[in-house]
Amino acid sequence: MRIGMVCRARLVRFSSFLCPFCTAPFLFGTESRILRRFPASPSVVKKADIAQFYSRLQAANPAPTTELGYATPFQLLVAVILSAQATDISVNKATKKLFAVAPTPETLLALGVEGLTEYIRAIGLYRTKAKNLIATCQLLLERHGGAVPATRAALEALPGVGRKTANVVLNTAFGQPTIAVDTHIFRVSNRTGLAPGKTVGEVEAKLLRVTPGEFRQNAHHWLILHGRYICKARQPECPRCPVADLCAWPDKTA
């Protein structure tokens, strides 16, 4: 890994990809590479078509949710922290065993960094994630009685938790209409013209502004799943895309 800069959330250095903890808008990383390879559409989705855009995603998937396995807000928080620079499949494989022995902040804290490491070794950046999770468990017990807080400020005060992770937890665990922008949503927003932007923050702000209220709660899941399975990075499957005619991208696949 080349050393480029220090993430403002934690002492982790990155140069060629998006910070997994804070999703800070450093454009020489993932965001800039996505924009170079998949530049924003030259036009945007028409305002009158945005509700139809979401309506079709809703029709295709009426009850979208995260693909991470969890049973409690705490387990969701752990899974989301672990999912940075890792696949949901690898995280679920690790947490299935981890949550069987450490489903709560108390039991996970009791494992210690070395004990936790044994369960998450197959996940990228596992050493840093183990340290952050143990520190997070300690703060949850000290400040919040072992419960996961339902406010952005309190969540982002936890080690390893940045805006993206906080957005996922607030949306999925607590039903708040936040939109966490990951690389899939960043790509989809720019490619389709739904909410083009040069940074994660810019895309998030635009999505919140243009997404009708009735769709905002599930927008994150619809967009991430759309990007993961249809509007893929290398070969988007435009022929089976439910919003292809609304998408502003000029180079659709046949």
Residues noted as catalytic: 164, 182
158 and 140 Cβ atoms separated by less than 8 Å = yes
How far is it, in rounded angstroms, from Cα 119 to Cα 222?
A: 30
Phi, psi values for residue 6, rounded to 5°: -100, 125
Handedness of CA 70, 76, 81, 84 (dihedral sign): positive
Provide the H-helix boundaries in the chain. Answer: 30-37, 47-60, 73-83, 88-101, 105-120, 126-144, 152-156, 163-172, 183-192, 200-210, 213-229
What is the DSSP code (8-state) at residue 4? -
